[in-house]
Copies of this chain bind each other. A is one copy, B any other.
């Protein structure tokens, strides 16, 4: 392991100078005085590695900053004491991080996809090499949710968390809801404005949220999580008509990542959810993120802020870099396990299948406009023990079918699927029924 002389600088190497990398670089060069006041030793830019030459040429790097042409060279170089991985994706990020750790270097990364998919390997390597691994920036951008789970709330059992953890999806739903626009229209504009990627699949299909909720659940519950077991549903199929009906019931639609610890098993999922319009999460609009959690002793806690963007995310990277730098300077690396739990002391809890979850539901039937349809629908639901909370039936549409919208009391997903398999096969409806879960995430307490 690389040890530092007392008060000698910790030298940071950055791999990947995209938006977050450039934000981090700017932060590191701007706040040198602050870091000295806080750390008691200098935090230096040791080197960079970036394949895009025009990016490299556009940056005013200090003269003593090493420029590496390969990450392999950087992670081996003894002049670099700490590696910041900001290239994203699986490879070469995975190999880079493992190689850096093998060289005895602590690593900071924002790579949620890698940690969600190969977390066990990476966390295991950090533990066995005795180095630190910081990844606050992987979830919620500038929102300090991971350190909160790992340290601040370490004394309590986290029972549940629910978060709006994808700004692109939230921006799209917010605009669809406010302006009554179609999904495709808003997506195109979000892409034009830079709030959505050219390939928006990860964001709008819930994949990115699944990566993040997997990491949150690992840290909250101390269990390994198999990403591929998490049920995921995106927002591509959401129609303005459902946002309108939802509003009539007093609901706002959000793409949520949800994780619940039932003790013996865990329920994790990503899907659009209707929330009561007066709940705090319902008011998180646009590109903001928020995570609400509930602890056994703590009660409710909500963290809200900028979930993306180079500069906010760079502050999360820097918080981790400073912590890792202290570990190097004081020879105390590996003191806090990366996940907040010692890797070997965790207990794997099984994931509940979606069919076993309980929820309230919003169901929009496109019904034949003929007598007896509502009676038929409520009959099929009732026979399966699904109790109706409220109904909206509007006048005739062009085309001869009318929307009949029902909200239910709590039922299991399998009860609902069972009822809909019957209804959707009948000639009482003209389209596949739209199903949206209703989530109760309101903060508890006097006058709240």
Q: Which of B23, B285, B323, B445 is close to A297, meaning CB atoms less than 8 Å apart? A: B23
Q: Is residue A322 within 8 Å, beta carbon to beta carbon, of the partner chain?
A: yes
Q: Tell whether, in the assembled complex, residue A151 and residue B288 are in contact, meaning their CB atoms are under 8 Å apart.
A: no
**Pair B316/A446 contact, Cβ less than 8 Å:** no
Residues of chain A from 8 to 62 with CB closer than 8 A to chain B in the complex: 23, 26-27, 31, 34-38, 40
A298 with B312: CB separation less than 8 A = yes
| Interface residues on chain A, number (Cβ under 8 Å) | 75
Q: Write the chain B residue with the least CB distance to A190.
A: B446
CA distance A409 to B178 in the complex (A): 30
- Contact flags A289-317 to B (C-beta < 8 A → 1, else 0): 00000010111111111100101101111
Out of B152, B222, B286, B305, name the residue touching A319 (CB < 8 Å).
B152
If A332-B332, A447-B174 touch, whether A155 touches B304 (CB-CB below 8 Å) is no
What distance in Å separates the Cβ of A402 from its nearest Cβ neighbour in chain B?
A: 33
Interface SS of chain A: helix, strand, loop or mixed? mixed
Indicate if the CB atoms of B298 and A153 lie closer than 8 Å.
no
Q: Does A171 contact B (CB under 8 A)?
A: yes
Contact status A40-B447, CB under 8 Å: no
Given contacts A142-B298, A152-B316, contact A448 B136 (CB under 8 A): no
Most chain B CB within a 10 A radius of its CB, from A38, A136, A341: A38
Please tell me if the beta carbons of A322 and B154 are within 8 angstroms of each other in the complex.
yes
Q: How far does the alpha carbon of A312 sit from the alpha carbon of B136 in the complex, in Å? A: 24
Kindly list chain B residues whose C-beta atoms are within 8 Å of the C-beta of A151.
147, 151, 319, 322-323
A342: Cβ under 8 A from any B Cβ: yes
Chain B residues with CB under 8 Å of A318's CB are: 154-156
Q: How far is the CA of A304 from the CA of B400 in the complex (A)?
A: 49
Quick one: copies of this chain in the complex? 2
* Contacting pair A447 B152 (CB below 8 A): no
- Whether A321 lies near B285 (C-beta < 8 A) is no
Q: How far is the CA of A280 from the CA of B303 in the complex (A)?
A: 12
In contact, A336 and B341 (Cβ under 8 angstroms): no
* A157 contacts the other chain (CB 8 A): yes
The CA-CA distance from A297 to B38 in the complex, in Å, is: 17
Cβ-based interface call for A231 (8 A): no
**A327 to chain B: closest CB distance in Å?**
8
Query: Taking beta carbons and an 8 Å cutoff, which residues of A are in contact with B?
Result: 23, 26-27, 31, 34-38, 40, 136, 142-144, 147-148, 151-157, 171, 174-175, 178, 195, 222, 280, 283, 285-288, 295, 297-306, 309, 311-312, 314-319, 321-323, 326, 330, 332, 335-337, 340-342, 345-347, 443, 445-448
Known: A195-B446, A330-B335. 5 other contacts (CB 8 A): A27-B297, A38-B337, A280-B283, A286-B447, A332-B332
25 contacts between A and B (CB under 8 A): A27-B156, A31-B155, A31-B156, A31-B157, A34-B155, A37-B346, A38-B154, A38-B222, A38-B337, A38-B341, A142-B301, A151-B151, A151-B323, A155-B315, A171-B446, A175-B447, A280-B304, A285-B448, A286-B445, A286-B448, A287-B448, A297-B314, A298-B311, A298-B315, A300-B305
